[in-house]
Amino acid sequence: MKRARDLRDLLRVLRLSALAGVAISCATIGPDGRGDVDLPSGIIGPFRPLKRNKTCDGDVCTGVDELPSGTSSGSPRYPGAPPSRSPSVLVRGAGGDDLHVVLYVARDLDADTDRIARFEALDARSFADVTEVLTGDAPYEAGKIGDPSAIDVEGRVVLYYSIHPLAAADPGAAAQTPGIARAHSTDGLAGRTFEKDGLVLGIDGAKGAWETDPPRAPSLVRDNAGLFHLFYASGNAIGEATSTDGLHFTRVDGDPTTPGLDPVLSPSPVVDPATLPVGVKPPFDDLAVDDPSVVREPTVDGRPVYRLHYTGRDRRKGSAIGYAGRFGDSSLFDHGAGLVYGSKTILHTNAPTVARFPGLSLLFCNVDGDNAQQLAIAVAPAALKLPIKED
């Protein structure tokens, strides 16, 4: 009996100990925990606008200012840039605190003769250094240049740009050759002074039926074999051409299994909104894809991945930034799932270019609002907080 009583006492103590142990555990709030650090990501979007929402009450401040002073709170638009448009970015920084970038932008809204300007910022946001590097004053340009695309080639910056067609009745239209032209820097990678090639690029090969107007909005990358890949917009699609010298290109069929020349990216198929479930929107790019911006990178396995950000236009007269990608140096691009930047409140985004740093991407693009056209800066991943910008 004594043994049984001892046993009961022992069990009682153990039971109370267990209750206390569990109660202590339940009453203690553990840390949130980790496990989601440095996970793989293509950092291709979705992007969020940079914020300017730091507020102070005395010495106590909350929020973060990611944009320079003068930017209205909550606005995705970048001030001080208009009328600059259609940016192309060259990454000069290593990432982290070093977000050094150079932007080439078109200034084609405020004068008869369009120009291309160079912006530079050490933090990818404070563009204090502004230099005009090209003017569309050649007869074949007729004052209508834009859509710059910059690429580093063998110690110099090469700038491709569009020559926008004039109407047939406009002065100078007879001398103009719409298409894509090229200039190269005369000061190396600084890229502040440029010399034009003086001609419009030739693109050999039969046109596809989708090429209803001259090539525009170039984006250039170079593969490991030194071959230039030109991505350009025409009609409502994006095509590709390749070249060994960067000047004479040959069209590439996006899908050799079908007759005729195919684009590498076409608009998404049209979907009747009435057939979609509640909350599912029709494609944002069912009318046209435009303004390609391509980056070529190796994956962890060494195979090349082409990352293409583009303007998607829908049949409701909206536009937003989309993403498509492909593995390998040729083939069609796959559409990504949905848009990566743009919404009902961020209207008519277009003409993207993306600066890719380790762990983050910065998107520069046009935002065409109700009353103005400006540049926007957005960041991915959206949860990332950029370093506080001290004015």
Partner 1 sequence: MASCSSRSRSAMLTIASFGALAFATTSASANPVDTFGFGSRSSAMAGSNVADVDDFSANYYNPAGLVAAEGLRIDIGYVRASHFLKTNGRDNQVDPIKALVFGIVAPGKVAGLPFAFGIAAHLPDDRVFRVRSLEQDQPRWEMYDNRTQRLFIAANLAIRPFPFLEIGGGMAFLAQTRARLDITGEMNLDDPNTSLLRHEVDADLTAIRYPQVGVRVKASDKLRFAAVYRGSFKLTIDIDARVLVDAQLVGNHVPLLALISTSTLSNFLPKQVVLGGSYDVTDDVTLDADVTWVNWSAYESPVTHVSSKLDIKVPPGLPDRFLPDPQAPTVVLPVNFKDTFVPRIGAEGRIPIGGGHELAIRGGYYFEKSPIPAQTGLTNFVDGDHHSFTAGMGIKLAHVADEMPGDLRFDVHGMLSVIPERLTLKSSGADRIGDYRSSGQVWIVGTTLGLVFK
Of 57, 167, 275, 344, the one binding partner 1 (CB under 8 A) is 344
Q: Is 42 in the site for partner 1 (CB under 8 A)?
A: yes
Q: How far from the centroid of its chain's Cα atoms is residue 117's Cα? A: 19
Question: Is residue 317 classed exposed, middle or buried when 0-12, 13-18 and 19+ CB atoms within 10 A define those classes?
Answer: exposed
Q: Is 33 in the site for partner 1 (CB under 8 A)?
A: yes
Q: Is 341 in the site for partner 1 (CB under 8 A)?
A: no
Q: Is 317 in the site for partner 1 (CB under 8 A)?
A: no
Of 132, 170, 195, 334, the one binding partner 1 (CB under 8 A) is 334
Of 192, 214, 305, 369, the one binding partner 1 (CB under 8 A) is 305
Q: How many residues would you count in the chain?
A: 391
| Amino acid at position 79, single letter | P
Site string for partner 1, 92-131 (x = CB under 8 A): ----------------------------------------
| Amino acid at position 300, single letter | V
Q: Is 316 in the site for partner 1 (CB under 8 A)?
A: no
Q: Which is nearer to partner 1, 96 or 172 (CB)?
A: 96
Note whether 233 and 292 are within 8 A (CB): yes
Site residues (CB under 8 A) for partner 1, limited to 43-82: 44-45
Q: Is 259 in the site for partner 1 (CB under 8 A)?
A: no
Contacts of 116 (CB under 8 A, 6+ apart): 104, 105, 106, 107, 132, 133, 134, 135, 145, 146, 148, 159, 161
Q: Is 274 in the site for partner 1 (CB under 8 A)?
A: no
What is the rounded distance in angstroms from the CA atom of residue 253 to the CA atom of residue 237?
Answer: 13
Q: Is 12 in the site for partner 1 (CB under 8 A)?
A: yes
What is the rounded distance in angstroms from the CA atom of residue 156 to the CA atom of residue 135?
Answer: 19
Note whether 86 and 148 are within 8 A (CB): yes
Q: Is 356 in the site for partner 1 (CB under 8 A)?
A: no
Strand, helix or coil for residue 175 = coil
Q: The tokens of 263 are what?
A: 């684009």
Taking alpha carbons only, the member of 200, 126, 187, 197 closest to residue 157 is 187
- Which of these ranges, 36-44, 109-117, 141-149, 169-177, lies near partner 1 under the rule CB under 8 A? 36-44
What is the rounded distance in angstroms from the CA atom of residue 339 to the CA atom of residue 322?
Answer: 5
Q: Is 269 in the site for partner 1 (CB under 8 A)?
A: no
Q: Which is nearer to partner 1, 88 or 361 (CB)?
A: 361
Q: The tokens of 322 are what?
A: 């989309």
Q: Is 25 in the site for partner 1 (CB under 8 A)?
A: yes
Of 245, 269, 279, 390, the one binding partner 1 (CB under 8 A) is 279
Neighbours of 345 (CB within 10 A): 8
Task: Report in angstroms how near the CB of residue 38 gets to partner 1 at its nearest.
Answer: 4
What is the rounded distance in angstroms from the CA atom of residue 215 to the CA atom of residue 243?
Answer: 15
What is the rounded distance in angstroms from the CA atom of residue 207 to the CA atom of residue 237?
Answer: 13
- Which of these ranges, 184-192, 198-206, 255-263, 296-304, lies near partner 1 under the rule CB under 8 A? 296-304
Q: The tokens of 189 are what?
A: 């990678």
Q: Which is nearer to partner 1, 141 or 262 (CB)?
A: 262
- Which of these ranges, 64-72, 138-146, 186-194, 299-307, lies near partner 1 under the rule CB under 8 A? 299-307
Half-sphere exposure of 196 (CA within 13 A, CB side): 20
**Residues contributing to the site for partner 1 (CB under 8 A):** 1, 3-4, 7-8, 10-12, 14-15, 18-19, 21-22, 25-26, 29-31, 33-42, 44-45, 277-281, 299-301, 303, 305-306, 323-327, 333-337, 344-345
